[in-house]
Amino acid sequence: RIAYVNGDFLPLEEARVSVLDRGFLFADGIYEVSAVLEGKLVDNESHLIRLERSVGEIQLAMPETRERIEEIQKELIARNSLVEGVVYLQVTRGAADRDFAFPKGVKPSLVMFTQEKNIVASPAAQKGIAVKTLPDIRWARRDIKSVALLAQVLAKQAAVEAGCQEAWMIEDGEITEGGSSTVFIVTKDDVVVTRPNSNAILPGCTRKALLALAEERQIRIEERAFSVDEALAAKEAFITSASSFLQPVVTIDGKQVADGKPGPLATRLREIYIDFAR
């Protein structure tokens, strides 16, 4: 595999950043994950716009223009002959002696690599996934796609230990989002409900595209927060993310959602999103 590090394409095992990199020392950095389907980036502009916003929110300049970043992503896909999977990219404040405040005259680092993944032919998407709920212990700026992911690492590990595939994080009695996904339910009268964007969640690119696709098809949408009880009483539940598109949720803390099978609207929306991604 070939990775990209600050201007160079290198074999992954030779790709290195400094131990003084602030991404490593302080999680002082931003990341993005874009899907690749049939060798092509999916909805990448959305990811680059969000990257630009995230880096701005931590007072960092874009390391390269959006156009140049996309060129590098495409070159990496080509060099890795990646057909289906993800491109990961990370921007950090760079390497400098350890001091909390921003170092002067330091260049941000830009790192990218690819990972193969079957997103379309995914058993999880066919069967649906199990989720575990946990308290949301993260900071107050979850709209920034920061590399500080320890809360999600712990939540998703607890989910895996409980035999689940995703963690749902709860705050003030309501679900904020998944460990690495946006959460949706479908009400008894076929309204797709998802939490509105705010500092409490990451504004999902998949969420945005899916809501637009649903609206074009006159599917009813409501943006509001909801509780675990409401999700358990819902007709359907599902999650979205760049690396999974849409996955139906069939159990929450071991309790079935409806009949415990992927719902019709989730299945239809997944097909609609796959067509869009192609």
Catalytic site residues? Answer: 145
> How many residues touch ligand PDD (CB under 6 A)?
14
241 binds ligand PDD (CB under 6 A): yes
Beta bridge partners of residue 215, listed in sequence order: none
182 binds ligand PDD (CB under 6 A): yes
The span from the CA of 177 to the CA of 180, in Å, is 8
Q: How far is the CB of 213 from ligand PDD (least distance, A)?
A: 13
Q: Which of 22, 132, 156, 207 binds ligand PDD (CB under 6 A)?
A: 207
Q: Which of 58, 243, 258, 268 binds ligand PDD (CB under 6 A)?
A: 243
SS3 content of the chain, % helix, strand, coil (to 5): 30, 30, 40
Q: How many CA atoms are closer than 13 Å to the CA of 248, on its beta-carbon side?
A: 27
The span from the CA of 77 to the CA of 208, in Å, is 24
What are the angstrom distances between the C-alpha of 230 and each of 175, 234, 236, 263? 10, 6, 11, 16
Please identify, using beta-carbon distances, which residue of 80 and 181 lies nearer to ligand PDD: 181
Q: Is 248 helix (H, G, I), strand (E, B) or coil?
A: strand
Please identify, using beta-carbon distances, which residue of 54 and 206 lies nearer to ligand PDD: 206
Q: Which of 54, 114, 206, 247 binds ligand PDD (CB under 6 A)?
A: 206
Q: Is 64 helix (H, G, I), strand (E, B) or coil?
A: coil
The answer to whether 240 touches 207, Cβ cutoff 8 Å, is yes
108 binds ligand PDD (CB under 6 A): no
The span from the CA of 22 to the CA of 26, in Å, is 5
Angle, helices 264-277/205-216, rounded to nearest 10 degrees: 110
Q: How many CA atoms are closer than 13 Å to the CA of 88, on its beta-carbon side?
A: 13
Considering only 9-17, 90-98, 201-209, 217-225, which stretch makes contact with ligand PDD by CB under 6 A? 201-209
Q: How far is the CB of 104 from ligand PDD (least distance, A)?
A: 31
267 binds ligand PDD (CB under 6 A): no
Lookup: tokens for 200: 């409490």
By CB under 6 A, what part of segment 23-42 binds ligand PDD?
Answer: 33
- Contact characters 130-169, ligand PDD, x per CB under 6 A: ----------------------------------------
Residues that bind ligand PDD (CB under 6 A): 33, 177, 180-182, 202, 204-207, 240-243
